[in-house]
Structure 1
Amino acid sequence: MALHRLVPRLPRQVWLVLGGDAVSALGSGLTLPFLLVYLHQVQGIELAVAGPILSTIAVMGLVGNPLGGLLTDRFGPRWPATAGLVVAAAGTAGMIVVQSAWQGFLAAAVYGLGVAITEPSFQTILGTSVPAERRSQVFAARHAVFNVGLGAGSLLAAFTVSFSEPRTFVVIYLLDAGTFIAFAVLLGLTADTRAEAPDTPAPASTPAAGGGYREVLSDRVLLRICVCVAAVFACGYAQHYSAYPVFATQVGGLDASELQLTFVANTLTVVLAQLLVLRLLAGRRRSRGFALSAGLMAAAWAAVPVAALLGGGTAGATGFVVVMTVFAVGETLMSPTVPALVNDLASDSTRGRYNGAYTLAGTLGQVVGPAMAGVALAGGHGAAFFVVLALVLGLVTVEMLRLERRLPPPVNLVSAPRARSSSG
């Protein structure tokens, strides 16, 4: 199938905004993989303290996600998103001058708050940038280009960072801050992303007289979706960078290069498969896409103990590459289904808070997941832990299949993507 037929036909302004998001992701790819070792090896902060500093970024989402959703409904999405990016830039730039634990906690808190405020606002910008039937396309495109940026940043960092030269860390943190500022300027100056989509629903960029979260939390369908999202993030995404690398190296026998190879396989699969998966989902129910996403993640984690039995070397590395490839396909099924579903369930006056609730559910999972992994792995229960993770993700699959009869068909359907024309 020709590539141009897979790329969704989105307005030029939307592709510009997605490009800014990719540049911001490049900056994050430069710094986040090295944050823990930077704090410990370069700045001399003990690991017992550096770990909680890193966790502070996720914890701030518990405040920033609902705040970002509330500000979006009050003032429209562009200015909270822009302000959040500026705050995040201040936080990542602050890492340059960290010399003590309290400074590390402060910089991480500022960075985490900024990112957390931005996310529900940006989800709302994307959700209102196209007509409702094309929301799956824009969220799928976002996931693909974001991973391109993240992967490019990680690759660039590999050629830039040297632990023997602390100034290289100054460079990457300044670059990261610069990407946030560049994206903030782009959002502030870019014309309304609804300009080329006149059939988009009522403008969410117009300030709404939204109240608190009581109205949003009375939506039981949304709450059930958020519980499933929290479970997928806690048992799926959070384990991707917590339990999985520890188990794969300590029990599975992978060395550092083999472990990196599995992560490369994951990223490449996401980038190459995302738009194809969007095409295959056309005309199908979003709830079933989410259910299959959780099911594939469950299959991946169930296969982890099996891959570990293969031992180190080529056989073991191949087994773990398969694990991360299957997990990546599960990721590509979630991105065009759940965010679009949440935005379609929302009204124009509650869309920011709906996105705030959705992103908060993911944040809760990211906070809880690594803590669960630490307890299980410290107790020597790694293989059993991955089996439990698979069982929980299997329950999410069942719950989403049960929930789909509560979802109106127009809300639950992935529309066929229209390919981009040569003019954009």
Structure 2
Amino acid sequence: MAKIKNYIGQFHPIVWVLLIGTVLSRGAAFMTLPFLSIYLSRHMDLSPIVIGLTVGMSPLMGTVGGFIGGHLSDRFGRKPVMLISLFTVALVYYGFTVASSPGWFVLLNALNGLSNSFFEPTAQALMADLTDKEKRMKVYSLRYTAMNIGASVGPLVGAYLASTSAKLSFAITGTTYLSYAIVLVILLNKFIVHHTGQSKKVVSFSNAFSIIKSDKALRYLIIGIILVNMGYVQIDSNLPQILEGSLENGIQIFSTLITINAVMVVFLQMPISHIAEKFRLMQVMVVGAIFMAAGLVVFSFVTGWTVAILAIVLLTIGEILIFPSNNMMIDRLAPEHLRGTYFGAAQFRKIGNFLGPIFGGYLLSQFQGQIMFWILAITTIGSVIFFSAGNKSFMKEITPNRQETIRT
């Protein structure tokens, strides 16, 4: 019991609230969003390109919104940005239940991406604000694990609702986000949270953008992640269409793959992260990109359960190596008073989440799924060039002189 208390006590109560909220909200989101392309294909009779555009609107808006939201949280505080974002996401999912045309789905999914992009970097920055530096890697790993605990349950429920009542899944997700927002309102009022950005120099939006633009290591990191995301996002956009169209039990295989992906992350995140800590972050991300590309190649040969499971295992190992390391890298690059801005700038990686479904949808409509996976595997491997360049730049720039330059 004493060990449990000590473990819980190492993090601020708000950090635990955010972790628990991540489990619930991500579980609800994974119950709906992975099946959005199937819902649109069945009920709207849209082409793969239009479906890709609709699914991609969320990350497109997230690309712009993340930087703005992160900067606003540095200037005006984490609390208002987080709460407004959560309440808006709840309204979006309620809107999905009554949407009846493709235009409404595009608009609502765009608003969904914008609101989430405000919330995510702000929540990450707040967790860093409230956590000692030596414990932040553990917090980022716990957060990523929390995301996947929710993702391990959501798809199973979503697969059932996708064939019965998709609109019910939208309503459940909206209610979950609404409840999350209400709990945060209560607890953020109970615990007075001051983030470090408010006690330091506050820069203007234009100055913040200039600082980000001049950070070469960050720029390489973002470009590399964009390429990775173009491949990874196929799991949520074009893979379900391919499996449903080519396999009799495609939806069941797809929902099981997402669950396997999430369960692997839950159980392997910490041990793999422990091994990865012995290497440089960029080197870990290079290895992760290779595993992810291998998973995409194997997906091109899927004819049943065995090959599909092998593909998701390879892709998941790459995911575990890349994404937490990416967050830790942002944390190391960011000055304290610009932490929200840096985490917001990292949302530019969602350009890949926007381009991936559209590019993949084009390849799928013009050629076939196998060609699509091969080309996107090559695209993912291309990230290695930028991760390697970023590693060199990081080792040169992460010096006291660099930090002083950024701060001034």
Please tell me the TM-score bracket, short chain as reference. Answer: 0.7 to 0.9
Contact residue 78 and residue 123 of structure 2 kept, 8 A: yes
CA distance in structure 2 between the aligned counterparts of 1:129 and 1:154, rounded to whole angstroms:
32
Q: Identify if the C-alpha distance between structure 1 residues 190 and 207 changes in structure 2 by more than 3 Å, giving closer, same or farther.
A: farther
CA distance in structure 1 between the aligned counterparts of 2:397 and 2:183, rounded to whole angstroms:
33
Could you report, residue by residue, the CA deviation over 1:55-95 in whole angstroms, capped at 9, with x for unpaired residues?
33233223322221221221122321221111111111112
CA distance in structure 2 between the aligned counterparts of 1:9 and 1:387, rounded to whole angstroms:
47
Query: Match for 2:278: what amino acid?
Result: G
For 1:270-289, what aligned pairs fall within 5 Å after superposition?
Answer: 270-289=265-284
1:63 maps to which residue? 64
SS of 1:407's equivalent in the other structure is helix
Query: Out of 185, 188, 203, which is 2:185 matched to?
Result: 188
CA distance in structure 2 between the aligned counterparts of 1:223 and 1:193, rounded to whole angstroms:
39
Instruction: Check if 1:354 corresponds to 2:342.
Output: yes
CA distance in structure 2 between the aligned counterparts of 1:331 and 1:225, rounded to whole angstroms:
15
After superposing the two structures, state which structure 1 stretch, 55-64 or 210-219, moved more. 55-64
Instruction: Check if 1:371 corresponds to 2:358.
Output: yes
CA distance in structure 2 between the aligned counterparts of 1:303 and 1:277, rounded to whole angstroms:
22
CA distance in structure 1 between the aligned counterparts of 2:251 and 2:102, rounded to whole angstroms:
28
Identity %: 23
For 1:30-109, what aligned pairs fall within 5 Å after superposition?
Answer: 30-38=31-39, 45-48=44-47, 52-109=53-110
Query: Match for 2:237: what amino acid?
Result: S
The TM-score normalised by the length of structure 1 is 0.81
Could you report, residue by residue, the CA deviation over 1:282-323 in whole angstroms, capped at 9, with x for unpaired residues?
332211111111111122223334x34xxx3xxx42122111
CA distance in structure 2 between the aligned counterparts of 1:157 and 1:291, rounded to whole angstroms:
33
1:317 maps to which residue? 305
Could you report, residue by residue, the CA deviation over 1:133-178 in whole angstroms, capped at 9, with x for unpaired residues?
3322111111111111122222233455653xxxx44543232122
Contact residue 78 and residue 122 of structure 1 kept, 8 A: no
Unaligned runs of 5+ in 1: 413-424
Instruction: Check if 1:203 corresponds to 2:177.
Output: no
CA distance in structure 2 between the aligned counterparts of 1:139 and 1:193, rounded to whole angstroms:
24
After superposing the two structures, state which structure 1 stretch, 152-161 or 20-29, moved more. 152-161
Instruction: Check if 1:174 corresponds to 2:161.
Output: no
CA distance in structure 2 between the aligned counterparts of 1:396 and 1:249, rounded to whole angstroms:
30
State the Cα distance separating 1:243 from its structure 2 match: 4.0
CA distance in structure 1 between the aligned counterparts of 2:214 and 2:227, rounded to whole angstroms:
20
The TM-score normalised by the length of structure 2 is 0.83
2:380 maps to which residue? 393
CA distance in structure 1 between the aligned counterparts of 2:40 and 2:294, rounded to whole angstroms:
35
CA distance in structure 2 between the aligned counterparts of 1:245 and 1:181, rounded to whole angstroms:
28
Could you report, residue by residue, the CA deviation over 1:172-203 in whole angstroms, capped at 9, with x for unpaired residues?
3232122212222333333599999xxxx971
CA distance in structure 1 between the aligned counterparts of 2:119 and 2:228, rounded to whole angstroms:
22
Query: Match for 2:176: what amino acid?
Result: T
Instruction: Check if 1:152 corresponds to 2:140.
Output: no
1:242 maps to which residue? 237
CA distance in structure 2 between the aligned counterparts of 1:40 and 1:301, rounded to whole angstroms:
23
Higher helix share: 2
Q: Identify if the C-alpha distance between structure 1 residues 10 and 276 changes in structure 2 by more than 3 Å, giving closer, same or farther.
A: farther
Instruction: Check if 1:266 corresponds to 2:261.
Output: yes
State the Cα distance separating 1:395 from its structure 2 match: 3.1
SS of 1:190's equivalent in the other structure is helix
Question: How many residues are aligned here?
Answer: 389
Contact residue 8 and residue 137 of structure 1 kept, 8 A: no
Could you report, residue by residue, the CA deviation over 1:81-134 in whole angstroms, capped at 9, with x for unpaired residues?
221111111111112222344443433333222112112212212232322233
Please, what is the CA RMSD of the aligned residues?
3.3
Unaligned runs of 5+ in 2: 400-408
Query: Out of 315, 333, 337, which is 1:345 matched to?
Result: 333
Contact residue 19 and residue 143 of structure 2 kept, 8 A: yes
Query: Out of 212, 216, 220, which is 1:220 matched to?
Result: 216
